[in-house]
Structure 1
Amino acid sequence: MAVTLHLAQQADADELLSRSPLALLVGMLLDQQVPMETAFRGPWVVAERLGVADLDAQRIAGYDEEEFAALFARKPAVHRYPGAMAKRTQQLCRYLVAEYGGEAEAVWRGAGSGAELLRRVGALPGFGEQKARIFVALLGKQLGVRPEGWREAAGPYGEDGCHRSVADIRDAATLSEVRADKQQAKAAAKAAKAGQG
């Protein structure tokens, strides 16, 4: 990937995300119930604690589960739910080893259509429909992975000029815009719910 991502808002963590498809997938996996930057900093923290320059799906898949969970839980914890997310990370890596020979980029390489890309990403452990659509948008908007129909597959996250998700973060300013958009959406949903009561 000849692109510099700015999802972790920390140079060394973003450098890892930019060159490692597996780190990017793990960051996306961790992006729930923690600030986006914390989630995308996670792969770099894991690599540091493993004492490696890059993440390897085969190695993570075969790592002792208790030791891997302890690595996630070491202070400061990689995630708000370190045990659960360590387990999910290993599940993701085992799936990649079984289905793609451990090569994360193979998930999107050669996808013939946006629908196929969404299906492949959505089949990953820990990737529900919304997360899969956001990741398809991220691949299309920032990494040039654009099979026919990718914007449609990404749904509202694929729209040009929006600030809905990590797919739209290119610097600190766009991070603030995405955060503001999320807060507006939450407030609107809360207001709608209150109106029903």
Structure 2
Amino acid sequence: MADLSFPITGDPDDDALLLENPFALLLGMLLDQQVPMEWAFRSPARLRERMEAAEPNSFSPEGLAALDEEDVIALFAEKPALHRYPKSMAKRAHGVARILVDEYGGDAATLWQTADDGAELYGRLRTLPGYGEEKAKIFVALLAKRLDVRLDGWQKAAGAFGDDTPRSAADVGSADELTLVRQWKQAQKQRGKSKQE
């Protein structure tokens, strides 16, 4: 396997969690919306700290799914909040955890490890709360580019995010690449273009 690298949070320990914990990675991608990428992908580590302060080793799909939705919202809303929209993102995260428990045995990695190809993985991601078309495509690309999970047809499933343009979190393999992605996004916004154009 290639050397894995995803230095997106500004903190090596938080970055390591994303590579080591599939649930954290799924949550980071979920939260990567209307906030800086660093904030989104740093938040799973903060959520783990808050959950495990009350219950050691509770940061898992089972641990989050077992909580009442209001308790999850409280974890997200605690200062500093885990997202600009903590209530709606907490509900989505809780929903993701419940699907992982109900359909994938509580193991987030099973979602991609048992998919036959990129198209099936994309379809599975689309069933998760908060995973729209673009986010699902980016996550397919992120798995391929950052974790070397390259299912047959992954590039087709990822669409534009499967190319070499630094257009999303999937393209962050170094601090310099994080800067390139941010610059590219800003340039696209100024041109009135989307990340997929």
TM-score, scaled relative to structure 2: 0.91
- Structure 2 distance, partners of 1:84, 1:22, is 18
Partner of 1:188: 191
1:86 and 2:87 matched? no
Partner of 1:195: none
Determine which of 150, 175, 178 is the counterpart of 1:175. 178
Alignment of structure 1 residues 70-149 onto 2, 5 Å: 70-149=74-153
Higher RCO (CA-CA < 8 Å; seq separation 6+): 2
- Structure 2 distance, partners of 1:110, 1:93, is 18
- Structure 1 distance, partners of 2:80, 2:59, is 19
- Structure 2 distance, partners of 1:135, 1:39, is 14
| Alignment deviations for residues 33-74 of structure 1 (CA, whole Å, 9 cap, x no partner) | 100010000100000111246721011011122222111111
2:23 partner letter: L
Q: 2:84 is paired with a residue of what secondary structure?
A: coil
Structure 2, unpaired ranges of 5+: none
Determine which of 141, 158, 162 is the counterpart of 1:158. 162
Partner of 1:40: 41
Superposed CA RMSD = 1.6
- Give 1:139 deviation, angstroms: 0.6
Partner of 2:7: 6
2:142 partner letter: L
- Structure 2 distance, partners of 1:166, 1:126, is 16
Identical aligned residues as a percent? 50
2:20 partner letter: R
Structure 1, unpaired ranges of 5+: 191-197
| Alignment deviations for residues 129-169 of structure 1 (CA, whole Å, 9 cap, x no partner) | 0000000000111111111111111001001x310000000
1:30 and 2:31 matched? yes
Q: Is the 8 A contact 1:16 1:54 kept in 2?
A: no
- Structure 2 distance, partners of 1:91, 1:164, is 28
| Alignment deviations for residues 93-151 of structure 1 (CA, whole Å, 9 cap, x no partner) | 00111110111001100322221121111221210000000000001111111111111
Q: Is the 8 A contact 1:58 1:97 kept in 2?
A: yes
Moved over 4 A (4+): none
TM-score, scaled relative to structure 1: 0.91
Aligned length: 189
Q: Is the 8 A contact 2:51 2:58 kept in 1?
A: no
